[in-house]
């Protein structure tokens, strides 16, 4: 009924999502503020080192959004058609992604204060929500193979389903670790980033 589309049926959905992901990840840099009004005897390098909470907030935000983009990229490789509800569930996920620069800024601002634990809880808690909306999206995609391309092996779909169940659990663990102290909340977070970056996770998606 529409014009004969050649190629990828979710091209624009992916382009729009890539836009949101890349903007959210790039604007994280705005949370690192150039030190101003330094006292004359304070070396710039000291002032830059004191910005470590901002660098950490940048790194954790970058890891979170980056991991989510990789997952998004991998999931959409399996999609064979675009539907209204796919756009809606994808939109809800982007809504959570676009808020990460805020939780990351919050973390950077409050890490060196007495309220560091609250800020870390919020950051990790938001990561939990992001993972939850991922599962919602995948649930919609995979249920009865609603939008899955016919050529995709059902084994792949099942493998992702069983792996994705752990996503929110990981971030719940990060939240739980935060209750033992800010340090642990951040350590688990970094651990998650390293874990996701490892080649182990490649097998599931690359499929070669």
Among 49, 158, 181, 207, binds a copy of itself (CB under 8 A): 207
CA distance 77 to 115: 42
Q: Does 56 bind a copy of itself (CB under 8 A)?
A: no
Per the listing, tokens 């004191």 go with: 50
Among 27, 56, 132, 187, binds a copy of itself (CB under 8 A): 27
> Residue 105: which residues within 8 A CB-CB, separation 6 or more?
31, 57
Nearer to a copy of itself, 118 or 135 (CB): 118
CA distance 105 to 188: 19
Q: Does 118 bind a copy of itself (CB under 8 A)?
A: yes
CA distance 22 to 66: 9
Give the nearest distance from C-beta 48 to a copy of itself in angstroms: 7
Among 39, 144, 162, 208, binds a copy of itself (CB under 8 A): 208
Q: How far is CA 166 from the centre of its chain?
A: 15
What DSSP string describes 70-81? HHHHHHHTTB--
Q: Interacting stretch for a copy of itself, rule CB under 8 A, among 29-37, 128-136, 167-175, 176-184?
A: 29-37
Among 149, 165, 180, 181, binds a copy of itself (CB under 8 A): 149
Cβ atoms of residues 97 and 131 within 8 Å = no
Give the nearest distance from C-beta 172 to a copy of itself in angstroms: 19
Q: Does 66 bind a copy of itself (CB under 8 A)?
A: yes
* SS3 state of residue 148: strand
Q: Does 143 bind a copy of itself (CB under 8 A)?
A: no
Q: Interacting stretch for a copy of itself, rule CB under 8 A, among 104-112, 128-136, 167-175, 178-186?
A: 104-112
Q: Residue 29 gets which letter from DSSP?
A: G
Q: Does 144 bind a copy of itself (CB under 8 A)?
A: no
């Amino acid at each position: 009924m529409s014009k004969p589309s050649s190629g990828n049926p979710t091209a624009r959905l992916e382009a729009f999502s890539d836009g949101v992901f890349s903007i959210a990840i790039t604007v994280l840099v705005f949370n690192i503020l150039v030190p101003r009004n330094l006292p004359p005897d304070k070396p710039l390098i000291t002032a830059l080192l004191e910005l470590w909470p901002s660098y950490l907030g940048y790194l954790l935000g970058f890891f979170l959004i980056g991991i989510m983009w990789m997952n998004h990229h991998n999931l959409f490789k399996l999609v064979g058609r675009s539907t209204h509800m796919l756009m809606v569930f994808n939109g809800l996920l982007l809504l959570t992604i676009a808020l990460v620069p805020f939780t990351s800024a919050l973390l950077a601002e409050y890490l060196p204060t007495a309220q560091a634990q609250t800020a870390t809880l919020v950051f990790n808690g938001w990561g939990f929500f992001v993972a939850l909306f991922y599962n919602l999206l995948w649930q919609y995609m995979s249920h009865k193979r609603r939008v899955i391309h016919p050529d995709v092996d059902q084994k792949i779909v099942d493998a992702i389903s069983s792996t994705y169940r752990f996503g929110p659990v990981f971030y719940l663990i990060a939240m739980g670790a935060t209750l033992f102290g800010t340090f642990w909340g951040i350590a688990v977070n970094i651990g998650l980033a390293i874990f996701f970056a490892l080649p182990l996770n490649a097998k599931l998606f690359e499929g070669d």
